[in-house]
Structure 1
Amino acid sequence: MSSEKILIVDDEAGMQRLLARVLERQGYETLTVGSAKEALQLIGSDIFDLVLTDIQMPGMNGLELLREIKAFDPSLPIIVITAYGTVESAVEALRAGAYDYITKPFETDEIKLTVAKAFERERLLAENRYLHEELEEKYRFSGIVGSSQIMADVFDMASSVAVSNASVLITGESGTGKELIARSVHYNSPRKDNPFIVLNCAVYSEGVIESELFGHEKGAFSGAIGTKKGRFELADQGTLFIDEVGEMSPSAQVKLLRVIQEHEFERVGGVRTIKTDVRLVAATNKDLIAEVQAGRFREDLYYRLNVVHLTMPPLRDRREDIEPLVRHFLEKYNAETGKKISEVSPKAMAALVAHEWPGNVRELQNAMERAVVLCRGEIITPNDLPQEARGGDEICFSLPQTGSNLTEILDDLERQLIIQTLRREGASQTRAAESLGIARTTLRYKMEKYGLIEHNE
């Protein structure tokens, strides 16, 4: 049942009763008044989700009431009822901010449908407002995890450039968060209410990138069965983020340069010039200066993109951010999995901080997701981490005494490997077998062979 509260305003008592009966059967709560003056008094002291008002009333009419309500609460939806033949008043009401109008005489189904549509529209608007606020909060610079001085410098420069229309070039290794910073620049800019569109050049072949950037007309090439808008059209008034821009073909580079200079383009196979107003943010993990010197990237395009240069540091250069990131991802994946893991053990945290993280923040995020999924208790231990991130758990071998043949040496080394793997995996044969890359039955056989069963059961 609905819980929305509707105020019905009509000077005819019979119409009040009819409308209230129809709407209450739909589950709405209603309150009826006979004049605009009474309606304004109630709106000032009570909360309503919708107003349904007649236009023709003595004293203050429905149009005047509409304007008074909109001055007080612009977001309150209002539906007006007008007599047949006075549609001009209804049009005036729409211009003044009414959601819709209904003409007398009307069917009760029309009332039900119009009110339901009004509430559905309000629900969607509320969801959009919430999602937009969530996006703004998510990409607020102060909300990005990273308290190191090197990241503080990145945030400071990014927040300064966000308020401008200057092109931004973001460089750094894969997994350092280049797209995160690009989105933050957008959502902290005057363009935040307009689209943020992404194109990853590494995903598309040379012949497809131009179509993705500029769109194409029907029949422009084999397979072009219809007209398609490109990323520049979709991003108009907003931000276009071109990821892996170093992978862009020479032909696409020429066309991109022209759009930056002229603020216009044509779709592939088209002749109509399309104007565009787009803020460009590009990213790459390549050394574009070296690419320019090698003749693979246009120098003039490089300088057009590189108005402001942001460098994302690798995680190994900001190890003080690892622990806050670990706790952030622990909270994130606790929420996603429904688990209640309280902490990361000191030994596991030390291993995480010491690891080189060649995949940077993305690798750390994957490691923490795995750890949360595999953890069976309330504390993440080194056993829950990927093998390469476990730090000081290296396996050390001692060679047997001289005189042993090769078979005896290999058997002794295998026995040591199994013992140390079992110790590291907390005596779990399943995890030890997985770590060694063998079946559990094979591990069991070898444990029996080396007399290790009694020590692990």
Structure 2
Amino acid sequence: MSQVSQDIFSSLVGDGAAMRQVKTLIQQVAQTDATVLILGESGTGKELVAQALHDLSERSGRAFVPINCGAIPAELLESELFGHEKGAFTGAITARKGRFEMAEKGSIFLDEIGDMPLPMQVKLLRVLQERTYERVGGNKSFQCDIRVIAATHRNLEDSIEAGEFREDLFYRLNVFPIEMPSLRERPEDIESLLTFLLQKIQDMGRKVPTLTEKALIALQHYPWPGNVRELGNLVERLSILFPGLTVDYEHLPKKYQVPLPDGAQLIKPVKCPEISTPVTSEERGGQGELSLLKRG
């Protein structure tokens, strides 16, 4: 992998088989204009994948424009995506560019696409098919030359069955799917994720804790419903409570003090010289005292 790729992947932390596969897929598709659908639970880092896809593409010098389709009221989403003309609706005192126009020649990231209302799905499908759109309240057509990346935490095939997502839009988006693994599916990456997150705090001039091996093993056995986002919150909490101190199993918040199987050992990623090397099996094991970061 080139130095440029390594720099871009620096936020996609993890050397286990699951993350190596994600990085391989990103490298394979980034240089194309294929539409990518990123799947995965909330908090797994889907926007980091989208950003890496843009940064490794030929559009990297242009804008990367994210929009959370589930966070914007349905009545405002069309204007947010495609812009509006002056007087298009009450409060539209000036014309405004939409996210598609801002992303021209670059990439647009449609986060939580599974939460997009059905009427808006029809309009998005037309844009993806015809590569043209109009601002709300306008009749001028704008040409659309952008890379479309979408993401969702939902099972869109279930949403199709429930009548909540258009099947034709799903197939238009699902050209090249990338599945982001949950944190509980890659416990071997927790050690490197902790190091990365603690280093970010240390870079701000703050003291950080050192976790014992037993504390780390406990975190590797915790199910992480909030994924990497939850891990980040825990690291922040521990850094406030134990600056420059050692954190053992009993110092962890109660819910992270999970029962450990007899002889539980630290799970390590299988070493692999290149992320593109196929991995057919994963042997986990290894032990030894671990100090994530020296006390700040």
TM-score range with shorter-chain normalisation?
0.7 to 0.9
Equivalent residue pairs, number: 257
Deviation for aligned residue 1:380? 2.7
Deviation for aligned residue 1:218? 1.1
Structure 2 residue aligned with 1:175:
43
Structure 2 residue aligned with 1:362:
229
SS at match of 1:221: coil
Deviation for aligned residue 1:374? 1.2
Deviation for aligned residue 1:371? 0.7
Deviation for aligned residue 1:138? 8.1
Kept in 2, the 8 Å contact 1:176–1:362? The answer is yes
What is the aligned counterpart of 1:229 among 97, 102, 122? 97
Question: Using the alignment, how far apart are the partners of 1:210 and 1:140 within structure 2?
Answer: 32
User: In structure 2, what residue type is equivalent to 1:344?
Assistant: L
**Alpha-carbon spacing, 1:203–1:196, altered in 2? closer, same or farther (3 Å):** same
Q: How high is the sequence identity, in percent, across the aligned residues?
A: 46
Structure 2 residue aligned with 1:253:
121
Deviation for aligned residue 1:139? 6.0
Kept in 2, the 8 Å contact 1:215–1:230? The answer is yes
Kept in 2, the 8 Å contact 1:159–1:188? The answer is yes
Structure 1 residue aligned with 2:53:
185
Q: CA RMSD in A?
A: 1.8
Question: Using the alignment, how far apart are the partners of 1:195 and 1:139 within structure 2?
Answer: 19
Deviation for aligned residue 1:305? 0.6
Could you report, residue by residue, the CA deviation over 1:205-256 in whole angstroms, capped at 9, with x for unpaired residues?
A: 1111111000011111111111110000000000000000011111111111
**1:34-433 matched pairs, under 5 angstroms:** 140-141=8-9, 144-339=12-207, 341=209, 343-382=210-249, 384-392=251-259
Question: Using the alignment, how far apart are the partners of 2:67 and 2:6 within structure 1?
Answer: 21
Which structure dedicates a bigger proportion of its chain to helix?
A: 1
Could you report, residue by residue, the CA deviation over 1:89-121 in whole angstroms, capped at 9, with x for unpaired residues?
A: xxxxxxxxxxxxxxxxxxxxxxxxxxxxxxxxx
Relative contact order, higher structure (CA 8 A, sep 6+)? 2
User: In structure 2, what residue type is equivalent to 1:312?
Assistant: M
Could you report, residue by residue, the CA deviation over 1:7-30 in whole angstroms, capped at 9, with x for unpaired residues?
A: xxxxxxxxxxxxxxxxxxxxxxxx
Could you report, residue by residue, the CA deviation over 1:139-181 in whole angstroms, capped at 9, with x for unpaired residues?
A: 6236621111111111111111000000000011101111110
Kept in 2, the 8 Å contact 1:241–1:282? The answer is yes
- In the TM superposition, structure 1's runs of 4+ consecutive aligned residues that sit over 4 Å from their partners are 136-139
In the superposition, the TM-score normalised over structure 1's length comes to 0.54
Question: Using the alignment, how far apart are the partners of 1:265 and 1:188 within structure 2?
Answer: 27
Kept in 2, the 8 Å contact 1:141–1:159? The answer is no
Question: Using the alignment, how far apart are the partners of 2:239 and 2:251 within structure 1?
Answer: 8
Could you report, residue by residue, the CA deviation over 1:340-383 in whole angstroms, capped at 9, with x for unpaired residues?
A: 54x21122212211111111111111111111111144323345
Question: Using the alignment, how far apart are the partners of 1:189 and 1:286 within structure 2?
Answer: 27
Question: Using the alignment, how far apart are the partners of 2:7 and 2:100 within structure 1?
Answer: 23
Could you report, residue by residue, the CA deviation over 1:44-87 in whole angstroms, capped at 9, with x for unpaired residues?
A: xxxxxxxxxxxxxxxxxxxxxxxxxxxxxxxxxxxxxxxxxxxx
Kept in 1, the 8 Å contact 2:54–2:107? The answer is yes
